[in-house]
């Protein structure tokens, strides 16, 4: 059976659930941006960024280890898969509890360094606990995804989003808890859904004994990914650190809101990643693997570039419609950061060779190089260009990351990618994005709409057209040009 119907089916389901889950926070932006001033929103963003580093250390690469060994042990029977899942859950609970305690004890130093001592230590304790609860919840949801049960996955993730939104509004509006209420609501929601998730998937949990015999194998696979997780954190968070340092929490609040709208692209990308990853893991062990990766790469970049162009065109209207007036100036951030999300999703397509060869130690090296590039670009551009410079530095970093990964992965497992089509898709999308950003804010010109729509049509054609037809089209175009 072809893998593409499975990918299409799961993409639709994940897309539906993802839209619902992400739309909860997106449609609450009008509320959040009116409850919180830009400076307060910047404080929320900075604490979220700090929790992100904590989560990277907490994860220890176990999510990837679970995906890999769940399929690898499939032939050994259900009991071996249960042992893998249970061993990871036990490790996560033990290691996570230790890290929460250590991080909370060190929170006064963080408070002094980044918040001028204005936050109570309980803020950090609640935020760190929420990160642990979220990872425990996510593992249960991931088991459903690996079993190709997307509706169960969506029930857990959507339930968390709805519960978090409800509790946040309750604590903030009813009890006037402000920033503390924001993190308290999210933490409680993650805890509740973590419990429900494991109740629903309890047949994959065996706590009759500790499965410590699996820990060395899992850690051997996952630990090399810890530096990669930290490097990924730096790639995603360096922009926030620099904006906060050079321009203050208010500028960071504006940047964070622009990033939220850019998440419309991230929504589509995350839908693809969740549907694609189990299929990719399966495909790379089959004869149709190279052709599967080759075709998906072309479709992904074409449709993705088209989406970025549309989002850039709509960004002035989106920000002015859904955010408070104080945040309107954040619109240029949207189109620039959308490319970061696109490249982030593309990594799972171009990195197949690293996973197939089980050379996960290469991932942190490549990410480390990208993180250093990100630091340098932010250092050069953020002081002078603020949020725009930070967004540009981040997107370029993710693009370089994909290029280097592609080169290394091809050395390990040859996939006949259509490089000339893929390059043209990205180049055309970037040129149009820059052009739209250089225009006046939010003009309704028919000419702009006409050109943007037709650029998108061309990108879609490039993503779906047969290679031979595309070569013939460009060849005929070149002939006419020469004539």
**What is the model's pTM?**
0.76
Question: Helices 215-222 & 225-283, crossing angle to 10 degrees?
Answer: 100
Domain ranges for the chain, please list them: 12-21+248-483
> Over the stretch 420-467, which tens digit does the pLDDT of each residue have?
888 888 988 898 888 888 875 444 566 666 677 677 767 766 666 655
Question: Helices 78-105 & 215-222, crossing angle to 10 degrees?
Answer: 70
> Over the stretch 69-79, which tens digit does the pLDDT of each residue have?
888 777 777 88
> Over the stretch 364-393, which tens digit does the pLDDT of each residue have?
889 889 999 999 999 999 999 999 999 999
> Over the stretch 130-156, which tens digit does the pLDDT of each residue have?
999 999 999 999 898 888 788 888 889
> Over the stretch 265-308, which tens digit does the pLDDT of each residue have?
877 787 787 778 777 877 887 777 888 898 889 889 988 888 88
How many other CB atoms are found less than 10 A from the CB of residue 138? 22
Query: CA-to-CA distance for 332 and 438, rounded, in angstroms?
Result: 9
Backbone angles phi, psi at 362, to 5 degrees: -75, -30
Question: Helices 225-283 & 150-169, crossing angle to 10 degrees?
Answer: 140
Helix residue spans in 28-105 (DSSP H): 29-35, 38-59, 62-72, 78-105
Q: Could you tell me the CA-to-CA distances from 312 to 303, 320, 439, 456 in Å, in that order?
A: 14, 14, 11, 12
* 96 close to 136: Cβ distance less than 8 angstroms: yes
* 78 close to 107: Cβ distance less than 8 angstroms: no
């Amino acid at each position: 059976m072809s893998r593409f119907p499975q990918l299409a089916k799961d993409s639709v389901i994940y897309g539906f659930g993802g839209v619902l889950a992400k739309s909860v926070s997106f449609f609450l932006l009008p509320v959040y941006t009116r409850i919180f001033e830009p400076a307060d929103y910047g404080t929320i963003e900075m604490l979220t960024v700090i929790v992100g580093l904590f989560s990277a250390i907490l994860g220890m690469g176990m999510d990837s280890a679970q995906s890999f060994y769940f399929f690898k042990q499939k032939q050994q029977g259900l009991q071996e898969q249960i042992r893998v899942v249970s061993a990871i859950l036990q490790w996560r609970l033990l290691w996570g509890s230790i890290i929460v305690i250590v991080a909370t004890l060190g929170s006064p130093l963080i408070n002094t360094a980044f918040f001028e001592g204005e936050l109570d230590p309980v803020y950090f304790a609640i935020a760190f606990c929420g990160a642990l609860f979220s990872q425990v919840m996510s593992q249960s949801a991931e088991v459903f995804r690996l079993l190709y049960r997307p509706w169960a996955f969506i029930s857990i993730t959507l339930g968390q989003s709805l519960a978090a939104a409800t509790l946040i509004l309750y604590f903030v509006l009813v009890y006037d808890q402000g920033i503390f209420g924001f993190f308290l609501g999210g933490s409680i929601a993650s805890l509740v859904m973590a419990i429900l998730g494991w109740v629903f998937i309890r047949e994959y949990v065996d706590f009759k004994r500790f499965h410590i015999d699996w820990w060395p194998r899992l850690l051997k696979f996952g630990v090399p990914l810890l530096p990669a997780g930290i490097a990924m954190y730096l790639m995603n968070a360096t922009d926030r650190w620099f904006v906060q340092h050079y321009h203050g929490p208010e500028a960071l609040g504006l940047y964070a809101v622009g990033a939220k709208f850019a998440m419309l692209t991230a929504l589509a990308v995350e839908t693809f990643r969740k549907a694609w990853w189990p299929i990719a893991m399966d495909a790379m062990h089959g004869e149709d693997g190279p052709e599967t990766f080759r075709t998906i790469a072309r479709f992904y970049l074409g449709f993705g570039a088209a989406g970025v162009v549309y989002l850039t065109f709509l960004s002035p209207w989106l920000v002015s419609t859904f955010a408070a007036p104080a945040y309107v100036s954040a619109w240029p951030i949207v189109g620039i950061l959308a490319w970061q999300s696109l490249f982030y999703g593309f990594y799972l397509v171009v990195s197949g060779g690293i996973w197939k060869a089980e050379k996960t130690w290469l991932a942190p090296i490549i990410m480390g190089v990208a993180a250093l590039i990100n630091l340098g670009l932010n250092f050069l551009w953020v002081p002078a260009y603020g949020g725009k410079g930070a967004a540009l530095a981040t997107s370029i970093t993710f693009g370089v990351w994909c290029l280097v990964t592609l080169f290394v992965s091809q050395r390990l497992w040859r996939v006949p990618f259509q490089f000339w089509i893929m390059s043209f898709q990205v180049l055309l999308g970037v040129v149009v994005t820059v052009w739209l950003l250089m225009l006046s804010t939010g003009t309704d010109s028919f000419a702009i709409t006409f050109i943007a729509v037709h650029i998108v049509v061309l990108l879609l054609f490039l993503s779906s057209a047969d290679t031979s037809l595309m070569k013939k089209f460009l060849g005929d175009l070149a002939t006419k040009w020469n004539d």
